[in-house]
Amino acid sequence: MILTVAWIVPLLGAVALAAFPRWSEGRARLWAAAVAALSLLALVVAWVGFDPAGPLFQHVEELRWVPSIGLAYRVGVDGIALAVATMSALIFVAAIAYPVDTLGQPRQYYAWMLFLQAMSLGVFLVLDLLLFYVFFDLTLVGMFFLIGRWGHGTPQVSALKFFLYTFAGSLLLLLAIIGLYLSIEPHSFDMRVLIERQPLAGTGLYAGLVFLALMLGFAIKTPLVPLHTWLPQAHVDAPGPASAILAGVLLKMGTYGMIRLPFAMMQETFAKYSLVVGIVALVAILYGALVALGQGNLKRRIAYTSINHMGYTVLGIAVASAIFADNQAARQLALTGATVEMVAHGLITGALFLICGSFWQRTGDYELDHYGGLAHRAPLLTGFTVLAAFASLGMPGLAGFVAEFQVFAGTFAVYPWLAVLGVLGILITAALFLGLLRRLFFGRLPSHLGGFGDLKWAEWGVLGVLSLGILVIGVAPQFLLTLIDASSALLVGGR
């Protein structure tokens, strides 16, 4: 029940916003934030009620729908899904509460935000393949309208490109889902059945094609090099909070999908290709970091670091899938690390994109060269940016380090040379973030920034909550690791 509440409450909230045309901007925002927080609360309750020693999927609900084609309303979570979903809900609360210019259409803006929240949580909470696809696709619709209507630059072009590109991935996914569905007798969309029975084990070419379609679909969403080209433009033109959601939540659907579908349902096939996936991830790590280093646009630079960070997650997943390595502890470590990376990256990059939004609200400019010397004018902004940047480059004591340490520790045990090359990514990330901080906050203050105001309380309040999350995960990650370890142990076969 609690999981259904978590995704349906935002949907009802969106309907209410659409239905009451007289609500003012402040009221719409307050309502949206309250509804989003309620949904977060439901997930926290689910977290508290989650038993780490229990079965893989908990809080399961099942409602018969069309038994003849094996379709049912099924929700349920394992530790991985619950961690990512809770982080997502938090990002949504933050993005909604963050002040933004709604261009005179506040109700529509907040309604789309809540709609997007409902659909995104749906992706993480369902246990039915077809419903998974439904939610997966509807997130595109929500994001399309958010970018197209409230973006800047050339928002319509970016929205169109985003929708087309990622929809192509979705369709590959749909074909693969049909392939999975047809492979099992009686045909079923039940993820639990598919995970348990591994229907495609040892079916050669057929399994290979399904796997390829699944991985391509998720690689576009994640995104992995060379399928990442939709991402920078979508990010640059999206409004700040939408960017935070795009990076913090939507990208996670790619990696979460990899864990839930190919990793869990086709272990044998994934193991065969784990090295290939690992190498692709390594390319994403290095390429993302190098390209980010070369960007002079603040938001574009952060967008490319997302490619780099999602590369760590995929590397972790690839390592965890290497069944033949006979090193269960390392594989489990890698999978847990990959999940923590998802949570950490969501919080860190969410915060960074919200900060980008603050820059845009003040100056309408993302060019790093046009900034400088802001440390004195805006100490709060400087503080939060420094914290998020350090977390992103993997400073010990912050969330990013916990994740990357586990991913690389696991990788070192299975594919040592991938780990050695991958660590270079962290080095480049450090360079690019330090350069970014230097160009924004230190040096001489340009004359046109004389009136640059520091963060308002609504902004630093939101950033404070996210930063607290980053710190807590960095210092005392145990609460998160217990939850995730319970599921990753089961998934790699350790318990």
Applying CB under 8 A, the residues found at the interface with another protein are 65-66, 68-69, 71, 130, 133-134, 137-138, 141, 144-145, 148-149, 155-156, 159-160, 163-164, 167-168, 171-172, 174-175, 178-179, 181-182, 209
Q: Hunting for tokens 């040379």 — which residue is that?
A: 417
Query: Which region, left, alpha or beta, applies to residue 381 given φ > 0 means left and ψ of -120 to 50 means alpha?
Result: alpha
Task: Print burial letters for 163-186: b (CB count within 10 Å at least 16), e (below 16).
Answer: bebbeebbebbbebbbbbbebbee
Give the residue with the Cβ less far from another protein, 130 or 375.
130
The nearest distance, CB 175 to another protein, in angstroms, is 6
Nearer to another protein, 14 or 282 (CB): 14
Residue closer to another protein, measured from CB, 181 or 412: 181
Which residues pair with residue 74 across a beta bridge? Answer: 62
**What separation in angstroms does the CA of 106 have from each of 25, 27, 100, 452?**
5, 9, 10, 25
Minimum CB separation of residue 71 from another protein in Å reads 7
Q: Quick one: 164 or 276, whose CB is closer to another protein?
A: 164
Residue closer to another protein by CB (options 260, 309) is: 260
Peptide bond into 223 cis (omega under 30): yes
> Tokens 């919080």 correspond to what residue?
347
Length of the chain: 495
Helix (H) or strand (E) holding 17: helix 2-19
Is residue 212 a contact partner of residue 279, using CB atoms and an 8 Å limit? no
CB of 266 to another protein, least distance (A): 17
Phi-psi region of 201 (alpha: psi -120 to 50; beta: other; left: phi over 0): beta
Give the shortest CB-33-to-another protein separation in angstroms. Answer: 24
Q: In angstroms, what CA-CA distances link 399 with 387, 392, 406, 422, 491?
A: 11, 8, 12, 18, 24
Closest contact distance (angstroms) between CB of 469 and another protein is 33
Any idea what the Cα angle at residue 217 is, between residues 73 and 5, rounded to 5°? 30
Burial, 383: exposed, middle or buried (Cβ in 10 Å; 0-12, 13-18, 19+)? middle
Q: Which is nearer to another protein, 69 or 427 (CB)?
A: 69
Closer residue to another protein (CB): 99 or 179? 179
Residue 19, C-beta contacts closer than 8 angstroms, at least 6 positions apart? none
Please tell me the distance from the alpha carbon of residue 308 to that of residue 285, in angstroms, as a whole number.
Answer: 4
Shortest Å distance, C-beta 48 to another protein: 32
Query: Smallest gap, in angstroms, from Cβ of residue 357 to another protein?
Result: 20
Closer residue to another protein (CB): 166 or 385: 166
Considering the complex, what minimum distance in angstroms separates the CB of residue 279 from another protein?
Answer: 26
Nearer CB in complex with another protein: 65/442: 65
Q: How far is the CB of 14 from another protein (least distance, A)?
A: 14
Q: If residue 150 lies in a helix (H) or strand (E), which one and from where to where?
A: helix 129-150
Which residue from 92, 95, 107 is spatially nearest to 26, judged by alpha carbons?
Answer: 107
Q: Shortest Cβ distance from residue 99 to another protein (Å)?
A: 23
Q: CB-wise, 172 or 492, nearer to another protein? A: 172
